Amino acid sequence: MRVSDFHFDLPEELIAQTPPAIRGSSRMLVLDRRLREYRDNFFRNLPDLLHPGDLLILNDSRVIPARLYATRARGAQTQAGSPDPSGRIEVLLTQQTGEFDWTALVRPGRKVQPGERLLFAAPGDPTPLLQAEVLTAEEFGERTLRFAPTQEFRAILERIGHMPLPPYIHRDDTPEDRDRYQTVFSRESGSAAAPTAGLHFTPEILDALRLRGIQVETITLHVGLGTFQPVRADKIEDIRLHAEHYTLPAKTAEAINSALREKRRVIAAGTTTTRTLEHCGQIASTDGFEPHAGIQLHPHSGETSIFIHPGYQFRVVGGLLTNFHLPESTLLMLVSAFAGRDPVLAAYNHAVRERYRFFSYGDCMLIL
């Protein structure tokens, strides 16, 4: 298949630039995979659409204020150097690889080469609070940075960093984004983007799900560089995703094993959760496995670069809650693998006609 097979026409005005006024008030398109039918609904009705005994898995990764603005240091003989007035450098931290080492996207990348130092200060104050050396340079603005050691790194990041809103949101971040571009159940810091299907949940909806007999557990996958990099291949077999760190807790592994053994549905909230569960399912599978049964997950941490596209056989996930994704994106390919390309594109075209809101701050789909 070709990347262009996953194209659909999306008017730009349907890309949500702000969150809904009230968290949890989003519209939700419900797609029945078996009947290949869809119907309009609202996210607040999610508890009534799931069955008692279903297991809902959330991604509890917490978004860090990963977008920073730097100046290039000059005067390398001094301890801190002095700012280069030639322009501001935008740095998006995408993954921590060591105590003070990070991969990042740097713009404009052509200006920033290995051996250079970047200085990070608070607005209106030229005194650098953080310093980083550029260790390596890759294509498309990818860089490896090593920050000067400081015990206050996270606190400084919270002070001077910005929420890493996606590039299709054409505005600067605001104080409101510190709350709304974060799930109410976020716990483990490390993501450079929100697991956006989780943004719809409120404490009240989570309580309603549990009261209905739906078990709720969590995994952690820290969203990294792959979310921000466009697809640069024509054929889907040529696509390679960046690795992202995940953790499968013992309580969640036990809950999934019980659900699969008892033929209960595992519902993944988001593509990040789906990729984590299916990666763990691949690790646990042996030759001749039976999908949704016969595998045993074990708690562990690791990295995954799993790319799910049509033809993939799902081992764990039996239901999917997800936002609407970019045309020709790997996330749309994942959704199409789960529900079929033609039904998914038909549902997306319906969402366009009915003027659903798209992408991170937009509406959602429930696929069962």
User: For residue 223, what are its two tokens?
Assistant: 């969203």
Residues with Cβ within 8 Å of 119's Cβ and at least 6 positions away in sequence, in order, are 70, 71, 72, 73, 80, 81, 83, 128, 130, 131
Q: What is the pTM of this model?
A: 0.93
* Average pLDDT of the residues in 225-244: 84
pLDDT at position 288 over 80: no
What residue segments make up the domains of the chain, in order of their start?
3-63+177-367, 67-160
* Average pLDDT of the residues in 14-38: 97
pLDDT band for position 78 (50/70/90)?
very low
Write down the pLDDT at residue 292: 57
Choose among 195, 222, 215: nearest CA to 259: 215
Contact 318, 269 (CB under 8 A): no
Q: How far apart are CA 182 and CA 186, in angstroms?
A: 7
Tell me what percent of the residues of the chain surpass a pLDDT of 90: 86
H-helix segments, 110-231: 153-160, 177-180, 203-211
Contact 352, 325 (CB under 8 A): no
pLDDT band for position 287 (50/70/90)?
very low
The partner residues of 68 in beta bridges, in order of sequence, read 91
Q: Which CATH class is domain 3-63+177-367?
A: alpha beta
Q: How far apart are CA 253 and CA 250, in angstroms?
A: 5
Residue in the structure block whose two tokens are 């592994």? 253
253-286 tens-digit pLDDT: 999 999 999 999 999 999 999 999 999 999 987 5
Look over the chain and give the mean of its residue pLDDT values, rounded to a whole number.
93
**3-state secondary structure string, 291-306?**
CCECCCCCCEEEEECC
Select 67-160's CATH number: 3.30.450.20, 2.40.10.240, 3.30.70.100, 3.10.20.600: 2.40.10.240
pLDDT at position 305 over 60: yes
DSSP string, 259-271: HHHTTPPEEEESH
Higher pLDDT among residues 209 and 76, named by residue: 209
DSSP-derived 3-state class of residue 145:
strand
Write down the pLDDT at residue 126: 87
Q: How far apart are CA 206 and CA 47, in angstroms?
A: 8
114-155 tens-digit pLDDT: 999 999 999 889 899 999 999 999 988 999 999 999 999 999
User: For residue 258, what are its two tokens?
Assistant: 């019980």
pLDDT at position 79 over 90: no
pLDDT at position 50 over 50: yes
